[in-house]
Amino acid sequence: MDEDKYQVGIKANFISLMLLEDELKHFDFILSKPIEEMRDWIEKLRATRAVFLTLYNIKDLTTKLRIQNLPEHTAKTKSLRKKLELANHFRNKGIGHLDTELLKRAVQWNPLMFVKEQKDTTELRLADAHRAVIESCINSYINKDGVQKEFGHEIDLFYSEDTEEFYKYLKSIVVDSLEWILFSKNILNEKINYHTTEDIFELASVAGATNFDLKGNSDLNFCKADSKTNMDRGLEKLASQGLPQDVINLIKSKYEI
């Protein structure tokens, strides 16, 4: 039993799409909530930083997911990948990593965080910290002439015009990403061969042989004579995931385990 028969590559990409879609919908919900008090603003700023990590992972997937002989998908993928360039910069400087030089610029950009009178205003300082990092990530995404690549000017979320412009942009790339994910999921779903209950013995055996040393290979070969130990392990795993005991007993009886 080999990787192609199990389609582990396609299924891994499908799982990735499912998780990214879930994350993106969650952040989109938070980003769309009304701001009624300071904690709502902090939640929105926190989600703003976090969504860029998800968007980066989507951009990363656009380079890995290969769907051949479908020009429409290829065109959508290239277009989305280009739109997500800022996500790559944002992830490297302000969420996947907290770049020290960027944090220094954030402090310089927003000195009010360290005004004596605001020393004990925890929520306000936290909001200012999130905002300063977000703005510094955006404003440090510049071309060789020092001009901000996406907006053509520095973004300051203190000003409503900048806030509206930035969040309109963010909403658009979230929507485009969700559309691409749905399109990709539908294509992969048509390619996946779903297993039947007759495959349980084989599946449980191979599952039991999973090698979690990610530096090594994982054995996907199936040999019935050597599979009963792996089958026991696999059935234990399936039981922990909710497979009914009567089904497990039936499998054990059928395959003389």
Closest Cα to residue 248, out of 179, 210, 214, 197?
197
Whether 15 and 97 share a structural domain:
yes
Domain limits at 41? 3-191
Q: Does residue 149 carry a pLDDT above 70?
A: yes
Lowest mean pLDDT among 30-34, 57-61, 224-228: 224-228
Q: 22 CB contacts (<8 Å, ≥6 apart)? A: none
Average pLDDT of the residues in 15-40: 97
Tell me the mean pLDDT in the region 141-161: 96
Instruction: Give pLDDT tens digits for 166-177.
Output: 999 999 999 999
Mean pLDDT for 49-65 is 96
Whole-number Å distance between alpha carbons of 105 and 88: 19
Q: What is the pTM of this model?
A: 0.82
Distance CA 19, CA 201 (A): 28
Higher pLDDT, 164 or 207: 164
pLDDT of residue 222: 58
Mean pLDDT score across all residues of the chain = 88
Domain boundary among 171, 191, 211: 191
With the C-alpha atoms ordered 97, 99, 100, 103, is the resulting torsion angle positive or negative?
A: negative
Percentage of the chain lying above the pLDDT 90 cut: 63
Residues 88, 211 share a domain? no
Q: Which of 120-129, 207-216, 225-234 has the lowest mean pLDDT?
A: 225-234
pLDDT at 1: 43
104 and 130 in a common domain: yes
8-32 and 160-191 helices, crossing angle to 10°? 150
8-12, 27-31, 205-209: range with lowest mean pLDDT: 205-209
What's the whole-number mean pLDDT along residues 20-42?
97
Looking at the structure, tell me whether residues 170 and 209 fall in a common domain: no
Q: Are residues 171 and 215 in the same domain?
A: no
Distance CA 157, CA 162 (A): 6
Identify whether residues 99 and 166 lie together within a single domain: yes
pLDDT at residue 35, rounded to an integer: 95
* Residues 142 and 201 occupy one common structural domain: no
Higher per-residue confidence, 73 vs 3 = 73
Residue 114 and residue 228: Cα distance in Å, rounded?
Answer: 65
Between 198 and 194, the more confident residue is 194
* Average pLDDT over every residue of 217-237: 68
d(CA 200, CA 164): 53
Per the structure, the count of domains in the chain is 2
Give yes or no: residues 26 and 96 share one domain: yes
| C-alpha to C-alpha distance for 239 and 246, rounded to whole angstroms | 10
Backbone angles phi, psi at 100, to 5 degrees: -60, -45
Q: What are phi and psi of 142, to 5 degrees?
A: -125, 160
The distance from CA 187 to its chain's CA centroid, rounded to whole angstroms, is: 19
Boundary-marking domain end, from 141, 167, 191: 191
User: Do 199 and 207 form a contact (C-beta atoms < 8 A)?
Assistant: no
